[in-house]
Amino acid sequence: MKNKIEILAPAGDMKALVGAIYGGCDAVYFGTDVFNARIRATNFTLEEAEKAIALAHAHGVKVYITLNTCLYERELTKMLGYVVKLHNMGTDAFIVADFGVASLIKKHYPSIELHASTQCTVHNLDGLEYLYKTLGYSRVVLARELDKENIKYISKNAPCETEMFVHGAHCMSVSGQCLMSYALGGRSGNRGECAQPCRLPYTIDGKTSYPLSLKDMTLSNHITEIIDSGVTSLKIEGRMKGESYVSGVVSIWKRLINEKRNASKLEIKTLGELFSRQGFTDGYFIKDINSSMLGVRTDKDKSASNEIITDETALNKPSVNMIAELYEGQRAKLTVELLEKRAVAYGDIVEKAINAPISEEDIKKSLSKLGNTPLSLGKIKVLKSDDIMVRVSSLNNLRRTAIASLLSSNSQLEIKEYEGQALPRVQKIKTSTFVDENQIPKNSDYFDVIFVPLEKYTGKSNGVHMPPVVFDSEWGEIDYLLKSAKEKGAKWALISNIGQIERVKRYEFNILLDYRFNAFNRPCVDYLMKTGAKGLVLSPELNLAQARDFKSYSMVVYGKLPLMTTHKCILKDTVGCDKCKGYMNDRQGAKFFARGIYGHRNIIYNSVPIYMADKQSDINDFSYHFIFSDESRDECYEIIESYKNKKAKNGDFRRVK
């Protein structure tokens, strides 16, 4: 498997699917009208999906269905039914983000193949291995921020396949770690509703620009490095884009991989004409991370559009060969062959004709009716006894069954209900994160555990906060920091993603899992608690009614939510990296605090805090988790006093409702 590189194309609708096949892709991915991360894309209904899968398979193209949103508890039964239907239609794999969804599917249907979405935030080999070991993913989609050395390290050592993005739009935030669209307008990126606030202008230090809008990526100048990296699948982004884009981009990429060469100037120009935002970037891949990575879609970009029209007639109908065996006293048998695939169907017992026997010509006529399939007839051979009788309806059934199993070789599974999930109770505690130790006020004994960033820890509290992102190339330093924090008295670690669990366990910390795990449902919490963690911070996207399933677990009850974790520093060209701390204003004047963190990444916080001091009757079933960001030590002191005394607050704030 690892020697053949797959070109994986987006298919937002039937036309784009045709474009992708026409362009020469090896596999496509698309969503249907529920449970996928591009709700605004046209998407397929289940009925259309069936047709799409048949068309793709007729051309030897694999189909992966995106199921890459976080699901609420009440959606899980529907999800299982949906997965089974799509599996039975022939889906080759599901791209899944939610650990609860993945564990439910694996529990009920171990044979279904799963790919871990880029939303799972896999930046290192530990993360990939953990997912492979615990959920049996056959493939992991790597984070888009990784550079070539780290991609190669993971792929060469991975026990399963890896997939990387090679072309298309970039998110500013680390995937699966963006709350911006949710927090600013209620449209959750983790639920597939992203409104792309990153494409808007913002002002930093008096300068207005587009500090969060990245150019589209193309790695078409790194073909040999990609081939040598050990990656199985090359993903092209663009489920919102049309057939011209898809067929154009796919055909160029196919050519480059086949010919093992970089794109020519003309090919880069063509790619740009298909879609770009002021050209392309390869900044993350080559570790050249600076403001040249930024870009927006200009009128010039739009006018360059390069229309390549493809419709279904552009595709030849692949021809299927048939052998019918109709022997008296035996079941009718039809063998069909397409490319390297073969399927066999059996029908009724063939009987001797009483008066008019069926002719070979009539048999061929019935079997060759492929009108509503994406196939045409190749060779047909009929082997039969003399003077037999076979009903036309029986021949039609035989043909339909054989063609269906040719286009979907999946075993037919039965829909099972989600039966609910009991959760372990956890000990109720109060925890908080501070950005550094100087911020910790003297009434901080309100908290059972205080986390400060691992890289700033000197022993003044009992917990360390793992950086949100750790590449394999950074483990040396992080290991050293973990070891020395342990020696200085840290007992707890707040961890950010699945790739940090095994490492932190080695140092025997008590583990609290951060909200960054996007825990939305009980199977997800159950799966995550099996890591041996002492607790978990629920997704701040859950409302009070939804959180009721998770009593005793931690809820963010105070603080400005981190909206984005960025791999590129947004402050570099404005306030400068010696400070690496500043404010970003939007057009409405909201002020977002941003600061540098480990690895010269940034966290951008919301402009208003969550505040629940005077609403504690709503939240006292939960563990409390506070997030302090740009508050001074005195302000932190006052906030803690407010929670002790259930005080109301003036000014802007958000509620957990």
Closer of 413 and 580 to Zn ion (Cβ): 580
**Region of 68-76, 480-488, 567-575, 633-641 interacting with Zn ion (CB under 5 A):** 567-575
* DSSP SS3 for 342: strand
Closer of 79 and 174 to Zn ion (Cβ): 174
Residues 374-413 interacting with Zn ion (rule: CB under 5 A)? none
Nearest to 608 by CA among 593, 620, 621: 593
Helices (H), 117-242: 125-135, 148-157, 180-185, 223-228
Residues 459-478 interacting with Zn ion (rule: CB under 5 A)? none
- Which DSSP string corresponds to 113-126? -EEE-GGG---SHH
- Which DSSP string corresponds to 395-443? HHHHHHHHHHHHH--PPPPPP--------------EEEE-SSGGG--TT
Number of residues that bind Zn ion (CB under 5 A): 6
* DSSP SS3 for 369: coil
Closer of 554 and 566 to Zn ion (Cβ): 566
* Distance (Å, whole) CA 346 – CA 327: 12
C-alpha dist (Å) from residue 536 to 386, 464, 510: 73, 15, 11
* Distance (Å, whole) CA 107 – CA 111: 10
Closer of 572 and 654 to Zn ion (Cβ): 572
**Region of 223-231, 449-457, 538-546, 566-574 interacting with Zn ion (CB under 5 A):** 566-574
**What is the Cα gyration radius of the chain?**
28
Closer of 474 and 618 to Zn ion (Cβ): 474
Taking the complex as a whole, the smallest distance from the CB of residue 647 to Zn ion amounts, in Å, to 36
The reply to whether 577 sits near Zn ion by the rule CB under 5 A is yes
C-alpha dist (Å) from residue 40 to 31, 194, 463, 541: 11, 9, 41, 20
The reply to whether 571 sits near Zn ion by the rule CB under 5 A is yes
Taking the complex as a whole, the smallest distance from the CB of residue 599 to Zn ion amounts, in Å, to 11
Closer of 177 and 432 to Zn ion (Cβ): 177
The reply to whether 575 sits near Zn ion by the rule CB under 5 A is no
Closer of 285 and 598 to Zn ion (Cβ): 598
**Region of 69-77, 125-133, 544-552, 578-586 interacting with Zn ion (CB under 5 A):** 578-586
Taking the complex as a whole, the smallest distance from the CB of residue 183 to Zn ion amounts, in Å, to 23
Taking the complex as a whole, the smallest distance from the CB of residue 474 to Zn ion amounts, in Å, to 17
Residues 251-290 interacting with Zn ion (rule: CB under 5 A)? none
Taking the complex as a whole, the smallest distance from the CB of residue 578 to Zn ion amounts, in Å, to 9
Closer of 200 and 580 to Zn ion (Cβ): 580
Residues paired with 242 in a beta bridge: none
Tokens read off for 19:
């474009």
Closer of 375 and 571 to Zn ion (Cβ): 571
Taking the complex as a whole, the smallest distance from the CB of residue 602 to Zn ion amounts, in Å, to 7
**Region of 74-82, 290-298, 318-326, 590-598 interacting with Zn ion (CB under 5 A):** 590-598
The reply to whether 46 sits near Zn ion by the rule CB under 5 A is no
**Region of 178-186, 307-315, 488-496, 561-569 interacting with Zn ion (CB under 5 A):** 561-569
* DSSP SS3 for 587: coil
Tokens read off for 382:
């009929």
Beta-carbon count within 10 A of 562 CB: 27
- Residue 81 CA to chain centroid, in angstroms? 20
Taking the complex as a whole, the smallest distance from the CB of residue 618 to Zn ion amounts, in Å, to 38
Taking the complex as a whole, the smallest distance from the CB of residue 590 to Zn ion amounts, in Å, to 21
Closer of 184 and 569 to Zn ion (Cβ): 569
Taking the complex as a whole, the smallest distance from the CB of residue 564 to Zn ion amounts, in Å, to 14
The reply to whether 580 sits near Zn ion by the rule CB under 5 A is yes
Q: What is the 3-state secondary structure (H, E, C) of 188-212?
A: CHHHCCCCCHHHCCEEECCEEECCC
The single residue among 569, 604, 627, 640 that binds Zn ion, judged by CB under 5 A, is: 569
**Region of 57-65, 139-147, 320-328, 573-581 interacting with Zn ion (CB under 5 A):** 573-581
C-alpha dihedral (568, 570, 574, 577), degrees to nearest 10: -60
Taking the complex as a whole, the smallest distance from the CB of residue 579 to Zn ion amounts, in Å, to 8
**Residue 317: DSSP 8-state:** P
* Distance (Å, whole) CA 127 – CA 50: 34
The reply to whether 96 sits near Zn ion by the rule CB under 5 A is no
Closer of 419 and 578 to Zn ion (Cβ): 578
Taking the complex as a whole, the smallest distance from the CB of residue 566 to Zn ion amounts, in Å, to 10
Nearest to 253 by CA among 63, 52, 5: 5
Taking the complex as a whole, the smallest distance from the CB of residue 516 to Zn ion amounts, in Å, to 21
Closer of 571 and 584 to Zn ion (Cβ): 571
Nearest to 424 by CA among 513, 542, 550: 550
Closer of 198 and 571 to Zn ion (Cβ): 571
Taking the complex as a whole, the smallest distance from the CB of residue 577 to Zn ion amounts, in Å, to 3
CB 128 within 8 A of CB 136: no
* In the block, residue with structure tokens 């793709």: 56
Site string for Zn ion, 521-560 (x = CB under 5 A): ----------------------------------------
Tokens read off for 190:
């983790």
C-alpha dihedral (330, 336, 342, 344), degrees to nearest 10: -20
Site string for Zn ion, 591-630 (x = CB under 5 A): -----x----------------------------------
Sorted by sequence, the CB contacts under 8 Å of residue 355 that are 6+ apart come out as: none
C-alpha dist (Å) from residue 205 to 210, 317, 596: 13, 59, 16
* In the block, residue with structure tokens 């400070």: 579
Closer of 448 and 573 to Zn ion (Cβ): 573
Tokens read off for 446:
């309100």
Taking the complex as a whole, the smallest distance from the CB of residue 289 to Zn ion amounts, in Å, to 10
Instruction: Tell me which residues touch Zn ion (CB under 5 A).
Output: 569, 571-572, 577, 580, 596
